[in-house]
A and B are shown apart, each in its own frame.
Chain A
Amino acid sequence: MDAMTSNLATEALAQRLRAHAVRMTNAARASHVGSCLSMADILAVLYGAAMRYDPARPDWEARDRLVVSKGHAAAIVYAALAEAGFIAVSELATYAQNGSRLAGHVTRTVPGVELSTGSLGHGLPVAAGMALAAKRAGADWRAFCIVSDGELDEGSNWEAIQFAQHARLDSLVAIIDYNKIQSFGTVAEVSDLHPLADKFRAFNWGVREIDGHDHAALTEALTAGPALAGRPTAVVAHTVKGKGVSFMEDRLAWHYKNPDDEQVIAALAELGAD
């Protein structure tokens, strides 16, 4: 597949993931749809172009690992696993329902999930541990970790960021879903991360700063090797919370609200879904 065809395929996948997330959060009356939509393109490129995996063998030793540290974006993670073939698309209707295995935060009992998350600041240290295991084993699989911007307030991330560069974990890739909105307001208002890319550079990480909705840029950033030889890579992905649904975009309220039935119809129309 040439690059342009690949981008078209992952862009279409991203829109399907968004449509799933809108339907799932509506059916479950669940929060965090805005957090899901901002990382749809990242997930689509990871599963559609960048990662090595086999849905028939979720425990395949040589697979690339993805830790989703922003576990509240569970709906779109399960949607991505369904589209990738780990679970049935029909199971998405059980999201956050009684007795379902699709918990409201990312849960490892779902095939393809590497780590249960939900409390922020847990994913990156674990992904660093995975990358350390790969390095000690001389294996070539990579450890990706998606972190939100707000969760970078957690000190445990910076412990891992410091450790990972010292340990030369060059198979570790942290993807920051930098949508600029956290729980109580904008990142700039609550605890400003600017200049975020420079923070990673100062920690001796290689940095790729990109538009997190540009599939060509995402594919390049997530398939290339380390941005700095021998060091972990931070992909600072500038995103828009609620991306793809005009009335959700860049709106704090959609961290909490779930779309009602009319809003679902409007959102799906914008996403080109039924």
Chain B
Amino acid sequence: MVRFELNGAPVAPEIEDDAPLLAALRGPLGLSGPRFGCGAEQCGACVVLLDGAPAFACALPVSAAAGKRVETVEGLGTPEAPHPLQRAFLDLQAGQCGYCLSGILMASAALLRRDPCPTDRQVREALDPHLCRCGAHNRIVQAVLRAAASMAPA
């Protein structure tokens, strides 16, 4: 049984070691934030952070997360205490169907930790592995930039 840290809490999901991490997160661990889009690392809907770096949970075996920190959008913030990214996405209404947002939020969070003041271009490049089929791209980029601005020290 693989043990890892999920959103700050130790977990040991009852699932085979070679099952996809996404199956563990959405199955025994009961999350709904990481989403299945393609199962082929092509759309980014399943992206979670593995030790702080974006990873495609759909094709990653659970065993790859052993002993590591896994973060999902559920761990980012709550309606009562939203992460600046989540607040910015809601303020700018950055999303249409929203199916892609979990992965995009996690990739953006990783970007802002790495580079607190990214440029428009850097945001676009960081989000390049993610597909948004509705066309909310520009608004999403603006939301990430706004979140970065709101997190910057005064």
The answer to whether A and B belong to the same complex is no
- Chain A positions near chain B (C-beta within 8 angstroms): none
